[in-house]
Structure 1
Amino acid sequence: MQDGTSSIMSYEFQYREYAEALYDALVEDAFYITMEQSIADSQEAKEGLLKYLDYSMVESAQYGELLLPEGDKIGCSIWSKPITPEQSAAKSKAKKEFLLKHMGQNSLDTYNAIVGSMSACTEGLVSDDDWYLSILGLLPEYQGQGLGSSLVMPVLKEADRLGVASYIETFTPRNKTFYQRLGYVEIGAFKEPTTKTEFAVMRREPQKSKG
């Protein structure tokens, strides 16, 4: 069994170039900083986080929605959507196995602590029917050109069509204005104890077409 000190097991990437783009895009995010630091072998830390980002894409392609841009691999958006209890149990079991095998026990414990505290904060603020924008990242050199919205608008338009709300959680204050332009409204801010950083919860109600 992986004890957090032995070498990280090999992993077959499905979206490595996208994972590398996300890594560079999320360099200021306290969640990913903390997860990278949780990997016992510092020489494996970056590679371990790249595996986490890749796995998150694989997971969303199976259980939610993965939006990849056409052309250059400059970023992506990763969404969670409502699933059945059976699917949720399978997803949780697979995530635990991934974290333990490919990042180590300390990373699993860190992940559980952060997600547990964040879930407790958002309880009652969001609906089980909401879609969740779990990860959004765009290479820094492409930011500020209107490309970020292209990674989320196709999904938001579908949510609007179906009358579904969505929400995000962000540890990066400067990102709030971007989400506000997309129609998200801040509904809470909380200090997360493991990262020792405040995160904001923002929710977007479905919007009616102006046409």
Structure 2
Amino acid sequence: MCKNVRVHLEIVRLADSQIPAAAATLAHAFHDDPLMVYTIPDPDDRTRLLPDVYSRMIRFGVLTGEVYVTAGAVEGVALWLPPNVKWTRENIEASGMHETPNIIGNDAYQRYREVVSREWQARERDMTDPCWYLFLLGVEPSRQRQGLGGALMRPILERADTDQIACYLETENERNVAFYRRHGFEVIVNGEEAGTSGVRFWTFRRMPKL
């Protein structure tokens, strides 16, 4: 008989050698995400291009923030940027993120920016105080709904409570709304459409626990 067993999930800081595996995990997790579908409409192109895109985002996280993964096989990734993160040209170039337009094509990059720029505007408007920013959270599709997402967020959520600092994130996927609410986030922007893209987005804030 099959029994439900609560498995302990060990979460560790990403090692540089794990960047390719972490990028592959994020590519799988976001393959059908509305923003990625709008950015790169062809599914085969997404399969081919997204690992390269996410590897650069992860490197930026390693340079400027903190990246957490599941111990052993990389089945989930959380990339956090700290309060007052430095989006400098040096950090962007060192991570390789400046090469994204060349990787996915300028038209795709402009579609991506169309949505992300609206999210940036919302963040600057609604989060004037320093906060931890959850830049990316992704779990292998076969391992979703098993507690990995919450475990991956826990190290920074606990630190934010200790330091009394808020946390912030965005999602373009409505099915994530209930998940983030369960982990103490409140919706700030509720399904706002990003320009003419048809992509909706939600923004969330989590105030520290006393």
TM-score, scaled to structure 1: 0.80
The residue identity in structure 2 corresponding to 1:145 is: Q
Contact 2:60–2:92 (CA<8 Å) still a contact in 1? no
Identical columns (%): 26
Distance 2:73 2:49 in 1: 24
Contact 1:24–1:140 (CA<8 Å) still a contact in 2? yes
1:204 aligns with 2:173: no
Contact 1:96–1:108 (CA<8 Å) still a contact in 2? no
Distance 1:76 1:21 in 2: 7
Distance 2:27 2:85 in 1: 30
Count of residues paired in the alignment: 192
User: What corresponds to 1:51 in structure 2?
Assistant: 52
Distance 1:47 1:125 in 2: 36
Large movers: runs of 4+ above 6 Å: none
User: What is the correspondence of 1:158-197 to structure 2 with a 5 Å cutoff?
Assistant: 158-189=159-190, 190-193=192-195, 195-197=197-199
1:68 aligned counterpart, secondary structure: strand
Deviation at 1:194, TM superposition (A): 5.2
Deviation at 1:100, TM superposition (A): 3.0
Contact 1:78–1:134 (CA<8 Å) still a contact in 2? yes
User: What corresponds to 1:137 in structure 2?
Assistant: 138
Deviation at 1:51, TM superposition (A): 0.7
Contact 1:74–1:138 (CA<8 Å) still a contact in 2? yes
Contact 1:14–1:54 (CA<8 Å) still a contact in 2? no
The CA deviation string for residues 17-50 of structure 1, in whole angstroms up to 9 with x for no partner, is 222222222233211222333x8xx865422211
Distance 1:167 1:35 in 2: 23
Distance 2:114 2:150 in 1: 31
Distance 1:22 1:184 in 2: 22
Change (3 A) 1:66 1:125: same
Change (3 A) 1:145 1:112: closer
Deviation at 1:61, TM superposition (A): 0.7
2:78 aligned counterpart, secondary structure: strand
The residue identity in structure 2 corresponding to 1:22 is: L
Distance 1:92 1:200 in 2: 26
User: What corresponds to 1:10 in structure 2?
Assistant: none
Distance 2:168 2:84 in 1: 16
Contact 1:30–1:195 (CA<8 Å) still a contact in 2? no
Deviation at 1:59, TM superposition (A): 0.7
The residue identity in structure 1 corresponding to 2:112 is: Y
1:124 aligned counterpart, secondary structure: helix
Distance 1:149 1:77 in 2: 10
Contact 1:159–1:206 (CA<8 Å) still a contact in 2? yes
User: What corresponds to 2:37 in structure 1?
Assistant: 33
Structure 2 unaligned regions, length at least 5: 1-16
The residue identity in structure 2 corresponding to 1:52 is: V
2:126 aligned counterpart, secondary structure: coil
The CA deviation string for residues 94-122 of structure 1, in whole angstroms up to 9 with x for no partner, is 66622133233223323332221221233
1:112 aligns with 2:113: yes
User: What corresponds to 2:13 in structure 1?
Assistant: none
